[in-house]
Amino acid sequence: MDIYELNRINFRSLLKALSYPGDEFKLWPVYDSFLLAAFATIVSPESTYYLEDQEKTKELAQILVNAQPVSLEKADYIFCNQFQPHLLLKAKTGTSLYPEQSATLFFCPPSDLSLPVCLKGPGILNQKHTNLPVSAEFIDLFLKQNQNFPLGLDVFLITKQGTVIGLPRTIYVEVR
Amino acid sequence: MAYVAAKGGEEAISASIKYFFKFISDDPLIFLIDKIMSEGALYTEELARHCLQICGSDPLVAGNYLRAQRTAYKRVGYAELTSLEQFRILRRISSAFKDIPYGQILGPTNDYILKILNGTWNQTIQDDPKIKTTQLVQVENVPSGVEVVRQMGLLIPLEAKETKPFDITRKHPQPPYPRSAALQIMARGETGGMLLLAYTSMRGYGDVHPTIGDLRIGFLGVYFKHPLTEKKVKIGEIRATSCEVMGVSKTKNTLKFTSGYGFCFGFNETKAISMAILDNALNFPAYTVGERSIASNPEIVLEHIDSIESLGFCNHYKLPHYVTFMADLNVMKTNPTQKDTSNENL
Amino acid sequence: MKTFNFGFLDEDAKKEIRRSILKAIAIPGYLVAFASREMPVSRGWGTGGLQITLSIILEKDTLKVIDQGTDHSVNAVILRKFIQSCTNCKTTLHTDEATIIQTRHRIPEIPTNSDQILVFQVPIPDVLTIVEPSPSQRRILHAYNDYSKLWVLLYEDVATTGESRFSHRYPVVVNNRYVMDPSPIPRYDIPKLNLNPSLLLFGAGREKMIYAIPPYTPVKPLTFEDIPFKVENFPGQRCEKCGASNVFLDLVYINGEKHYFCNDPDFCQRNQQCSLK
């Protein structure tokens, strides 16, 4: 598959993930990286990003898309090949006039994280009991940054199996 | 007959597209000529083509030539009254109803043509021998698509305040502008300017989104009463466009439809639709954003859409203004300490 | 069509649209501005919906395109053909077979599910346009959750005529926050927006805005507590082809006589098949 085909298939997964939070959707890797796959679908030269990963991946990212790597505070899109909840604190949450000028974060949590949660909000019929590959600390930070809707952050979790889970700022997460 | 026509949509569209390409291959300048005749306010294809040639195909300047030519002719009289039912229709659509008496006659239009610079897409339709364009009948005596709504009693009628039409070429109208004067000014108005003003109405500086009840292009016979025999004689035929739109307004605390009419020489749908929207806006001022409305203000619409006037004045700034400018310089020199009042209230 | 990209738009254009769509889903009902490319179809004829569809569609998708309810109108036919020609997707007239349904001014009668996406074509995206022509002012009103001008308009209508003027584009509040223009769908279709299992995407190409209602999101029309929301009804009328009475009907004049048919031809056909069994 060429990169454009990968991009559009992967984008559908991101789209579904954000629309149906908590459900997992398959990603196809780009240069053996699921994080780069997400990167390639949405980052274009006009967007700014922050990438925490191996040097090799950072170079590939720059080759894939000639976009601008910037500081964490300024980035529209934040990609992290690990699970670093504290990044949520520095990411930009938008303004009331322009709430969309807020960051979207992509994390790659380890396989051993599995927190039982209850999800409520747009994308969920009534409520959903499921397990998310996150920590309780992450939930606290996520809810804190999203308490002043429409300001907030949107998060995608990319599992080691190469699936993606979406958490829009509208989702309410309760630890069970 | 009628409902099935809607299902035959794809066939009708292909035929319309093929017909359009044939139509313009017969005369690739047709829409430009029609624009010039309409804005020049003189129906003469021969002279319009000539004007275009001698000015390097600048449509506004060509219109100026035609308008000037008008001045050289003696007024013989007025043509006989006509109506949109007199159209020999080449194309007629109504957006208000899925189907109407006589159906939706697509005719030649580029509406359904993809604006794609790729030979194969449009070429395929042009070359397809299965698409027939031969059975085009030019129907006459077709009532407006708005008639149905009039008969339902849901259209607010406009008061007929004039007994005979104003003639803007003999006398320039002053406010309050009679409707016939407004319509004449718009019928010869510049397409782009009228489109701009109508667009403000569509986008929120006025009540939005009127519905096209009847849009038609075709041929209109011009009749004249012979001075000696006093009989009605057909002196020729013009291409013309007519458009009736419907808006919504409140009258006596009920919601009803309003109407607006657009008409111009030649085939120019954009202009006729814009004119109809402006006529509607002028007669039924916006009832939501009244004071912010642009197109409802006749002093804005009627004084600024004549291309000959605006073209002339815009370009007149190229004339020497040395004296006026010198006068400005003098004022500035003699009053160097004019108080800057902008920071007073900080 | 080999000379064009998949989906006609270049990849960067698609990515910008994708980013806008994701933000729109995260902020339900909020208008996300996007660059909006010019398309081979004229502005006002569905370029917004078209750009969204082209940015999300895959070869394996099955596309349905409707205009005012029908697959056969000029707008629907051209869009469907164009999208298919530059994506090689499958197309269908049946709602339940489609994975993407692009629509102008109607929601299909047959309910859609979580495997389907609706893409709405929108002429005027901002519901506040009718009371505030200035876009910068509107942005401030949305930010402050200040829809008082709209409420005043609704009140005046009801107080003077007993009825709201909004036959279509009835303002709705999404997820208890943003008031949104649902596109010119009739009132009849408004209840379908509430808690819909499908993702609903809205594209205004000329006005350069994208917005969304995520699945299972509460959407309520703006009404006064003591005045129930009325939908269109066609008292005593049934579709002449299938007999359905609780659907949105087309009024067609044939030889000067009034006739009523289902607006949604797929629904009508299914109904006819059911009654034959």
Q: What residues of B are in contact with residue C253 (Cβ under 8 Å)?
A: 2, 97, 99-101, 148
Total structural domains within chain C? 2
Question: What pLDDT score was predicted for residue B2?
Answer: 29
C124 → closest Cβ in B115, B205, B208: B208
Question: What pLDDT score was predicted for residue B7?
Answer: 47
- Rounded Cα distance between C165 and B258, Å, is 14
Question: What pLDDT score was predicted for residue B335?
Answer: 67
Model confidence pLDDT, tens digit, residues C176-217: 999 999 999 999 999 999 999 999 999 999 999 999 999 999
C26/A168 touch (CB, cutoff 8 Å), yes or no:
yes
Q: What residues of C are in contact with residue B2 (Cβ under 8 Å)?
A: 252-255
Domain end position, chosen among C197, C221, C245 = C221
How far apart are the CA of C50 and the nearest CA of chain B, in angstroms? 13
Examine the residue annotation and report whether C89 is marked as an active-site residue of this protein.
no
User: Which residues, numbered 122 to 181 in chain C, qualify as contacts with chain A under a Cβ-Cβ cut-off of 8 Å?
Assistant: 139-140, 143-144, 175, 177-178
- Whether C231 and C187 have beta carbons less than 8 Å apart is answered as yes
Question: What pLDDT score was predicted for residue B72?
Answer: 86
Q: What residues of C are in contact with residue B3 (Cβ under 8 Å)?
A: 252, 254, 259, 261
Q: Which among C92, C21, C98 has a CA at the least distance from the CA of C52? A: C21
Q: Residue B65's Cα: distance from chain center in Å?
A: 20
Q: Which amino acid is at A171?
A: I
Mean pLDDT by 10 residues, chain B (346 residues): 45 86 92 97 96 94 92 87 93 87 87 82 79 70 91 88 88 89 96 94 74 95 93 95 90 83 97 96 73 82 92 88 86 68 52
C132/B289 touch (CB, cutoff 8 Å), yes or no:
yes
The single residue listed with the structure tokens 């013309």 is: B240
Q: Residue A3 pLDDT > 70, yes or no?
A: yes
C215/A5 touch (CB, cutoff 8 Å), yes or no:
no
Helix, strand, coil in percent for chain C, rounding step 5: 30, 20, 50
Position with higher pLDDT, B250 vs C261:
C261
Q: Which among B208, B233, B238, B198 has a CA at the least distance from the CA of B221? A: B238
Q: What residues of C are in contact with residue B100 (Cβ under 8 Å)?
A: 253
pTM: 0.87
**E strand or H helix at C257:** strand C257-262
The domain in which residue C111 lies consists of 11-130+155-221
Residue at C73 is within a domain: yes
Residue at C29 is within a domain: yes
Q: Residue C99 pLDDT > 80, yes or no?
A: yes
Question: What pLDDT score was predicted for residue C165?
Answer: 81
Question: What pLDDT score was predicted for residue B286?
Answer: 65
C15/A41 touch (CB, cutoff 8 Å), yes or no:
yes
- For residues C172 and C272, state if they share a domain: no
Q: What residues of C are in contact with residue A19 (Cβ under 8 Å)?
A: 25, 199, 214-215
Left if phi > 0, otherwise alpha if psi is -120 to 50, otherwise beta: which for A5?
alpha
Residue at C81 is within a domain: yes
Left if phi > 0, otherwise alpha if psi is -120 to 50, otherwise beta: which for B322?
alpha
A128 touches chain C (CB under 8 A): no
Residue at C264 is within a domain: yes
- For residues C210 and C254, state if they share a domain: no
Q: Which among C266, C264, C273, C276 has a CA at the least distance from the CA of C69? A: C264
How far apart are the CA of B255 and the nearest CA of chain C, in angstroms? 7
- For residues C50 and C98, state if they share a domain: yes
Model confidence pLDDT, tens digit, residues A62-93: 999 999 899 999 999 999 999 999 999 999 99
User: Which residues, numbered 233 to 272 in chain C, qualify as contacts with chain A under a Cβ-Cβ cut-off of 8 Å?
Assistant: none
Alpha-carbon distances of B344 from B338, B339, B340, rounded to whole Å: 14, 10, 8
A125/C19 touch (CB, cutoff 8 Å), yes or no:
no
C73/B9 touch (CB, cutoff 8 Å), yes or no:
yes
Q: Which among B120, B100, B124, B137 has a CA at the least distance from the CA of B14? A: B124
- For residues C64 and C186, state if they share a domain: yes
Give the CATH number, domain containing residue C44: 3.40.50.11310
- For residues C166 and C94, state if they share a domain: yes
User: Which residues, numbered 136 to 175 in chain A, qualify as contacts with chain C under a Cβ-Cβ cut-off of 8 Å?
Assistant: 149-150, 152, 154, 168-170
- Whether A93 and A152 have beta carbons less than 8 Å apart is answered as yes
Residue at C82 is within a domain: yes
- Whether B287 and B207 have beta carbons less than 8 Å apart is answered as yes
- Rounded Cα distance between A173 and B2, Å, is 56
Provide, rounded to the nearest whole percent, the portion of chain C with pLDDT above 70: 99
- For residues C123 and C240, state if they share a domain: no
A1 touches chain C (CB under 8 A): no
Sequence-ordered list of residues with C-beta below 8 angstroms from that of B327, at least 6 positions apart, any chain: none
Q: What's the whole-number average pLDDT of chain C?
A: 91
Cα pseudo-dihedral B167, B171, B176, B177, rounded to 10? 30
Residues of C with CB under 8 A from a CB of B: 1, 3-4, 39-42, 68, 70, 72-74, 77-78, 82, 85, 123-124, 129-133, 153, 160-161, 163, 165, 184, 250-256, 259, 261
Question: What pLDDT score was predicted for residue B10?
Answer: 75
Examine the residue annotation and report whether C69 is marked as an active-site residue of this protein.
no
A125 → closest Cβ in C20, C32, C216: C216
- Rounded Cα distance between B344 and B76, Å, is 64
Examine the residue annotation and report whether C29 is marked as an active-site residue of this protein.
yes
Q: Among the listed ranges C28-37, C62-71, C240-249, which one has the minimum average pLDDT value? A: C240-249
Alpha-carbon distances of C127 from A42, B296, C124, C168, C179, rounded to whole Å: 29, 21, 8, 11, 7
Provide, rounded to the nearest whole percent, the portion of chain A with pLDDT above 70: 100
- Mutation target for B interface from C2, C72, C86, C106: give the one with most B CBs within 10 A: C72
- For residues C50 and C104, state if they share a domain: yes
Examine the residue annotation and report whether C242 is marked as an active-site residue of this protein.
yes
- Whether A77 and A43 have beta carbons less than 8 Å apart is answered as yes
A150/C27 touch (CB, cutoff 8 Å), yes or no:
yes
The side-by-side arrangement of strands in the sheet containing C219-221 is C178-180, C172-174, C219-221
Residue at C148 is within a domain: no
C175/A41 touch (CB, cutoff 8 Å), yes or no:
no
Position with higher pLDDT, A15 vs B78:
A15
How far apart are the CA of A7 and the nearest CA of chain C, in angstroms? 9
- Specify the 3-state DSSP secondary structure of A38: helix
* Residue C62 structure tokens: 């099955």
Chains A and B contact (Cβ–Cβ under 8 Å for 3 or more pairs) = no
Domains in chain A, CATH or no CATH each: 3-175 (3.40.50.11310)
Question: What pLDDT score was predicted for residue B343?
Answer: 55
Q: Residue A38 pLDDT > 50, yes or no?
A: yes
* Residue A28 structure tokens: 């196809």
The residue in chain C having the minimum alpha-carbon distance to the alpha carbon of residue A3 is: C11
- For residues C17 and C41, state if they share a domain: yes
- For residues C115 and C93, state if they share a domain: yes
Burial of A136 (0-12, 13-18, 19+ CB in 10 A): exposed
Model confidence pLDDT, tens digit, residues C131-189: 888 889 999 999 999 999 999 999 988 888 877 888 888 999 999 999 999 999 999 99
Chains C and B contact (Cβ–Cβ under 8 Å for 3 or more pairs) = yes
- Omega prior to A133 cis, within 30 of 0: no
- Rounded Cα distance between C20 and C36, Å, is 11
- For residues C125 and C198, state if they share a domain: yes
- For residues C26 and C123, state if they share a domain: yes
Burial of C152 (0-12, 13-18, 19+ CB in 10 A): exposed
Burial of B330 (0-12, 13-18, 19+ CB in 10 A): exposed
The residue in chain A having the minimum alpha-carbon distance to the alpha carbon of residue C27 is: A150
The residue in chain B having the minimum alpha-carbon distance to the alpha carbon of residue C75 is: B112
Q: Residue C79 pLDDT > 50, yes or no?
A: yes
* Residue A87 structure tokens: 């990044």
Work out the number of other CB atoms within 10 angstroms of the CB of residue B22.
Answer: 12
Confidence of residue A45 (pLDDT cuts 50, 70, 90): very high
User: Which residues, numbered 87 to 116 in chain C, qualify as contacts with chain A under a Cβ-Cβ cut-off of 8 Å?
Assistant: 114
Examine the residue annotation and report whether C86 is marked as an active-site residue of this protein.
no
- For residues C126 and C250, state if they share a domain: no
C15/A97 touch (CB, cutoff 8 Å), yes or no:
no
